[in-house]
Amino acid sequence: MLELIKAGGWPMIPLLLLSAVALAIIVERFWTLRRDKVMPPGLGDEVLAWVARGKPLEPAHVDSLRATSPLGALLAAELDVRQRSREAIRERVEDVGRHLVHRMERFLNTLGTIAAAGPLLGLFGTVVGMIEMFLGILDHGIGDANQLAGGIGKALICTATGMVVAIPALAFHRYFRGRIAGYIVDMEHEAMRLMDVLHTEPASTSKQD
């Protein structure tokens, strides 16, 4: 492996840096986007039961809910405007949801950039290697054909490395986007369930009165 890196020359340095950054982002996103951290099991049902009891909601409880997870932040934002109309609550959910999506997509643009830049850097390294090889031919002649083939092979190492960096980065970029999209759908479902409870509870209470 070390010999391949040396053979690729200095263009291998940015490729190695990109691979290290991509690996760090992938590990960090896997840790941050765990389902039990984004949507703790039973949290939606717990909030529904909490609201259905009809007890006054303390600001400290809502703030505690907001700090638990992205789902908790979405439900807490909904509780903040629970006295408003259904349309106003929906607008608040959409607004907070956009911020949560932005937070969950943190570093994904960087990962996508690495996926796009990897092959280009690999191609750049190959072009640099080919230029150096042909300049050597101009100075010393063609010489040994095996040496010429070896030079071409070394130049192509950068292209192969660029693909090795780009393919996993692209795959994980799409994977994390899909995972976030799934979370958003589930979180919207939980938000709609809470909205239904918020708008049916007062009606049932007024009938009893």
- HEC per residue, 147-158: HHHHHHHHHHHH
Compute the distance between CA of residue 42 and CA of residue 167 in angstroms, rounded to an integer. Answer: 37
Q: Tell me what pLDDT residue 27 has.
A: 96
> Among 18-32, 49-63, 67-81, 117-131, where is mean pLDDT lowest?
49-63
| pLDDT (0 to 100) of residue 150 | 60
Indicate the SS3 state at residue 197: helix
Q: What is the CA radius of gyration of the chain?
A: 27
Look at residue 3 in the predicted model and tell me its pLDDT. Answer: 65
Confidence of residue 18 (pLDDT cuts 50, 70, 90): very high
What pLDDT band is residue 44 in, cutting at 50, 70 and 90? confident
Which long-range contacts link 130-136 to residues 24+ away (Cβ below 8 Å)? 130/155, 132/9
Q: Name the band, by pLDDT with cuts 50, 70 and 90, for residue 184.
A: very high
pLDDT at 206 exceeding the cut of 60: no
Closest residue by Cα to residue 35 from 174, 171, 183, 176? 183
Find the mean pLDDT for residues 68-72.
Answer: 91
- Confidence label for 55 from pLDDT (cuts 50, 70 and 90): low
Whole-number Å distance between alpha carbons of 200 and 180: 30
pLDDT of residue 23: 96
Considering only 14-18, 41-45, 156-160, 180-184, which range has the smallest mean pLDDT? 156-160
Sign of the Cα pseudo-torsion (97, 101, 104, 107, in order): negative
For residue 55, which phi and psi values (nearest 5 degrees)?
A: -80, 155
Q: Are 102 and 31 in contact (CB under 8 A)?
A: no
Tell me, what's the pLDDT at 177?
Answer: 94
What number is the average pLDDT over the span 57-76? 87
Residue of higher predicted confidence among 31 and 87 = 31
Between vectors from CA 184 to CA 72 and to CA 75, what angle results, nearest 5°? 25
Checking if the pLDDT of 174 tops 90, the result is yes
Token code pair at residue 37 = 């951290």
Burial of 135 (0-12, 13-18, 19+ CB in 10 A): exposed
Residue 183 has pLDDT above 50, yes or no: yes
Q: Which two tokens stand for residue 112?
A: 């996508």
Buried b (16+ CB within 10 A) or exposed e, 60-89: eebeebbeebbbbbbbbbbbbebeeeeeeb
- Model confidence band, residue 205 (pLDDT cutoffs 50, 70, 90): very low
How many domains does the structure of the chain reveal?
1
Distance between CA atoms of 192 and 180, rounded to whole angstroms? 18
pLDDT in tens, 88-147: 888 898 999 999 999 999 999 999 999 999 989 888 888 877 777 777 666 666 665 555
User: Which residue segment(s) compose the domain that 201 sits in?
Assistant: 2-208
Token digits of residue 157: 């190492």
